[in-house]
Amino acid sequence: MELTEIKVLLEKYKEGNTSLEEEKLLQKYFTSGNVPDHLKEYETLFSFTLNARKQTYSKDAVLSKKRKGFAWWGIAASILIAIGIFTAVNNTGPELDQNNLGTIEDPEEAYLKARETLLLVSQALNTGTEEMTYVTEFDKAKNKYLKK
């Protein structure tokens, strides 16, 4: 094969327009050992592709077995979630009607329950007012420097 034909095929190869037969011709030329010095860089490329085509994978592909038990765990979890939602929706506590609105008949028990409720409200309000002390301190410091 002439050098001009090789150069034309190389240009086609660089552009990606060569056929398989043309690539085999290039490969045959560059692996023959009679390559000019200015084309030596292509020699390693085509010898590499020749070696790459000869390589084969000898091990069998190992496919992992599907885990059948994993699907059953998902189904069981879904059933448990459905049961949990069902019991949460249907277990809202004792139903109140017009005759029983949750009133306490014993005055002492009613007093203790009211006291407990008022203490909870008082604690919640005190928590809010504790945070307000920081705001008032900030206000005092701000007013002290802004008035000067």
pLDDT at 54: 67
Q: Is 148's pLDDT higher than 60? A: no
pLDDT at 115: 94
Q: Is 4's pLDDT higher than 80? A: yes
pLDDT at 147: 67
pLDDT at 108: 92
pLDDT digits (tens, 9 = 90+) for 81-128: 999 998 888 776 666 666 666 678 888 998 999 999 999 998 888 877
The model carries a pTM of 0.35
Longest dimension (CA), the chain: 117
pLDDT at 66: 67
Query: Which position has the higher pLDDT, 51 or 4?
Result: 4
pLDDT digits (tens, 9 = 90+) for 45-90: 777 766 666 667 777 777 777 666 677 888 899 999 999 998 888 7
pLDDT at 119: 93
